[in-house]
Structure 1
Amino acid sequence: MLVEGDAVRTTANIVGHETLFRLGIVADILMATVFVLLGLVLHRLLHHVHERAATALLVFVSVGAGSILVNLTFHVGALLAATRPGHSPELVLLLLDLHQHGYVLGGVFFGLWLLPMGFLACRSPLLPTWLGVLAIVASVAWVADPVLAFGLPDAPALIRHLVELPTSIGELSLLLYLLICGIRSGQTVKVQMPEPGSCR
């Protein structure tokens, strides 16, 4: 949809593919929802390893998901600006640019949740240590990316690409491991059973 520096073509793309643009918004809503559910599952699975780290993971996931939804306001604004009579193509392009910048800034919390996740993976017998190390490296890279983007805007694009690489490797490794391997077999998690007569 977005044509860099061309407000008229970008607006025409949105108007001509409004349904696809709306589906993109819906996809982000679903992503944010699933992200929170993932945080809840990981907290339940790993809170016995370190309660504070698991809580930090859940908090960072929740804030990151919230930032996705707040940032979608710019996408909705671009859609409204593009489809209303007398629209301003420059405003549409500005809103989409703000959405892109918002995603970069949201990378701080996309990275911060991986820090306690990596710590928990390193300490838990349910997950391999190497997976935790990759998550921690990805966390640092996620936080470094917006710092480079706004602090060193004239830096060569190759530097940002190199910084972004660990984020993809770390998150993809975590995703594939959980989907394909799951938690390590033969390991048990102690669950405190409620006492007879307790309503909790």
Structure 2
Amino acid sequence: MPHALHPGGRLAGVLYLIVVVTGIFCLAYVPAQLAGADAGAMLDNVVARQALFKQGVAAFVVEQVAYLLLALVLYRSFQDVSRSAATLMLAFVAMAVPLALAALSHRLQALSLLTDADSAQLLSPEQRQQLAHAALKAYRGGMQLVRVFWGLWLLPLGWLVLRSRRLPRLLGALLVLGGLGYVLDVLAELLVPGYADWWISAHLTLPASVGEIGTCLWLLLFGLRAARPAASRSLAQ
């Protein structure tokens, strides 16, 4: 008999899709559009394209809310497999979200320094640019810490997928590898000189990207298998 579907599977897929789409927009598309040849040019782009910058901030907030809701749905879906692992997964997300939103405040601070009329009256253009640049560096430093938790939450999630088989085991393996990749990537950035120039630096988090997008699509298309009743498992043995 085909497996029954868990009622939270499709909801998790929708929430994961929101996380993926908003994440690509605010973490990849917007920074690429605002990038410049140097820090000064990038700050000029922020001023010239304020609307896009603000859209990136709004998308980031939506992503974090969806991320937390996703973790809650996945916790309810997997707690019967291992409550401790599901709790650990949720705890890592619960730590990541406030850290990410705190880091985001530095982006808002940078925009305010560059565009606010009061800042223009109190500070010279050079001072405003220096402080805005420092605020964006603080944002990047905060996000480096957040990325550790983006990796850590994938470890128990991948383990739960592997143990429960409610999703393909390949996805579980990719999630575990991706989680390790995230953590190693951050540690290498902090501890290994010249790591950004290494070939592997651009690929260490690739399993996470493939695993998360694959999990999102599988949940949307096929849902999440529900646990079989004990009687059914006994008959199948």
TM-score computed with the length of structure 2 as normaliser: 0.73
Q: Which residues of structure 2 form unaligned runs of 5+?
A: 1-33, 230-237
Equivalences for 1:96-135 in 2 at 5 Å?
96-135=136-175
Say which structure is richer in helix: 2
Deviations 1:20-50 (CA, angstroms, capped at 9, x unpaired): 2111111111100000000000001010000
Q: Distance in 2 between matches of 1:29 and 1:45?
A: 24
Matched, 1:161 2:193: no
Are positions 1:47 and 2:79 aligned together?
Answer: yes
CA deviations over 1:100-157 (Å, ceiling 9, x no partner): 2322221110011101101110111422222211111001001011111111131233
Question: 1:162 Cα deviation (Å)?
Answer: 2.3
Confirm or deny that 1:3 pairs with 2:36: yes
Aligned to 1:94: 134
Question: Is 1:104–1:145's contact at 8 Å kept on the other side of the alignment?
Answer: no
Please, which of 70, 85, 95 is the counterpart of residue 63 of structure 1?
A: 95
3-state DSSP class of the match of 2:59? helix
Change in Cα spacing, 1:173 to 1:11, as seen in structure 2 (3 Å) is same
Q: Please name the residue that 2:63 is paired with.
A: 31
The 3-state SS of whatever aligns with 1:127 is: coil
Which amino acid letter does the alignment assign opposite residue 81 of structure 1? Answer: L
Structure 1 gaps of 5+ residues are: 191-200
In the alignment, is the contact (CA less than 8 A) between 1:74 and 1:95 conserved in 2? yes
Asked if the contact 1:10/1:93 (under 8 Å) is kept, the reply is: no
* 1:172 CA drift (Å): 1.7
Question: Runs ≥4 in structure 1, deviation > 3 angstroms?
Answer: 187-190
Q: 1:5, CA displacement in angstroms?
A: 2.9
Q: Structure 2 CA distance, aligned partners of 1:49 and 1:42?
A: 11
Q: Paired residues, what number?
A: 187
CA shift for structure 1 position 4: 5.2
Amino-acid identity (%): 32
**How many angstroms apart in 2 are the aligned matches of 1:169 and 1:125?**
18
Aligned ranges 1:184-195 → 2 under 5 Å: 184=225, 187-188=226-227
Offset, 1:12 = 2.1
Q: Give me the whole-angstrom Cα distance separating, in 1, the residues matched to 2:37 and 2:153.
A: 31
> Secondary structure in 2 aligned to 1:160?
helix
The amino acid of 1:68's aligned partner reads A
Give the secondary structure class of the aligned counterpart of 2:148: helix
- Relative distance call for 1:78 and 1:189 in structure 2 (3 A) is farther
Separation in 1 of the partners of 2:219 and 2:52?
30
Alpha-carbon distance in 2 for matches of 1:160, 1:78: 28
- Asked if residue 14 in structure 1 is aligned to residue 46 in structure 2, the reply is yes
> Structure 1 residues 140 and 33, CA, compared in 2 at 3 Å: closer, same or farther?
same
Task: Say if 1:24 and 1:157 are closer, same or farther in 2 by CA, change over 3 A.
Answer: same
Q: What code does the residue aligned with 1:61 have?
A: V
